[in-house]
Structure 1
Amino acid sequence: MTPDERCAPGSFPVPLPWLGVLVDYKKSGKPGELIFGVVRDPHAALYGTDRAAFRYRYTQAVRVPHSDEPLFRAYVTDVAARAGRPVL
């Protein structure tokens, strides 16, 4: 199996110690931009990381409404707890 066959199209495989996730709201009342990336410090928060903490960012055209952010935060918080990573 080649590395390309192991990853689904549009996937972003990153080891959990280096994963960073953020929903960035640029304008009030508008959906936020979902950002996945590689953080500079493996001890940085997994979710809620400042954009400047990313070494590399990957953003697919996914928008998160304000009303859905708590659900997304809960899911990523569970992932962070399993990985022993903090969440802001």
Structure 2
Amino acid sequence: MPLRWLGALVHSKKPNQPSKLLIGSVRDPNAALYGTDEAAFWYSTSPALRVPHGDEPLFRAHFTEVPVLADRRVV
């Protein structure tokens, strides 16, 4: 998938519960690469991936580096 369409999000429904990691394509290539709300996704996958609540900053750090390569923003 081209980086301009990539989207990633760690979505948490309840504090102290594992969150789900969503990776997919966004509807708008100008959307933030990470931190996009679920409604921004055209297609997403990986609902089986669960992320401990405390690990979200690690994913944020990684997906903050990727937009630099694709000239995209992060929320």
> Shared topology, TM-score over 0.5?
yes
Q: Whose strand fraction is larger, Structure 1's or Structure 2's?
A: 2
Structure 1 residue runs without a partner (length 5+): 1-13
The structure with the largest alpha-carbon Rg is: 1
Q: Which runs of 4+ in 1 moved over 3 A?
A: none
> How many residues in Structure 1 have an aligned counterpart in Structure 2?
75
Does 2:27 match 1:40?
yes
The structural deviation recorded for 1:60 is 4.4
Amino acid at match of 1:76: F
Identity rate, percent: 59
What is the TM-score with the length of structure 2 in the denominator? Answer: 0.93
Structure 2 residue runs of 5 or longer lacking an equivalent are none
The whole-number CA distance in structure 1 between the counterparts of 2:12 and 2:18 is 7
**What CA RMSD, in Å, does the superposition of the two structures yield over aligned residues?**
0.9
